[in-house]
Amino acid sequence: MAFSSILRRSASSFASLAVRALRSQRNCHSAIFAALNQTRIVSSENRLSPFLPPSFSYSTKRPSSDENLLRVLDSEIQCAEETIDRNRVEDAPDGFPFKIEDKPGSATITLSRKYEGEEIKVEVSCPKCVTSDDIQAYSDEKESIPLVISIANGSGQCIKFDCVAYTDNLDIDCLGIKNPENSEDQIAYEGRDFQDLDENLQKAFHKYLAIRGIRASAANFLYGYMINKDSREYLMWLKMLKKFVEA
* Domain layout of the chain by residue ranges: 1-59, 99-243
Q: How confident is the prediction for the chain on average, in pLDDT?
A: 74
Q: How far apart are CA 244 and CA 161, in angstroms?
A: 39
pTM: 0.66
Q: Could you tell me the pLDDT band of residue 106, with boundaries at 50, 70 and 90?
A: very high
User: Higher model confidence: residue 34 or residue 215?
Assistant: 215
Q: How far apart are CA 42 and CA 243, in angstroms?
A: 25
Q: Could you tell me the pLDDT band of residue 89, with boundaries at 50, 70 and 90?
A: low
**pLDDT for the residue numbered 196:** 92
Q: Could you tell me the pLDDT band of residue 58, with boundaries at 50, 70 and 90?
A: low
Q: Alpha-carbon torsion 193, 198, 199, 202, what sign?
A: negative
Beta-bridge partner residues of 109: 124
Q: How far apart are CA 221 and CA 24, in angstroms?
A: 68
Residues 6+ apart with CB under 8 A from 105: 233, 236
DSSP, residue by residue, 174-224: EEEEE-TTS-TTS-----S-GGGS-HHHHHHHHHHHHHTT--THHHHHHHH
Three-state SS at 17: helix
As its CATH architecture, domain 99-243 has: Roll (3.10)
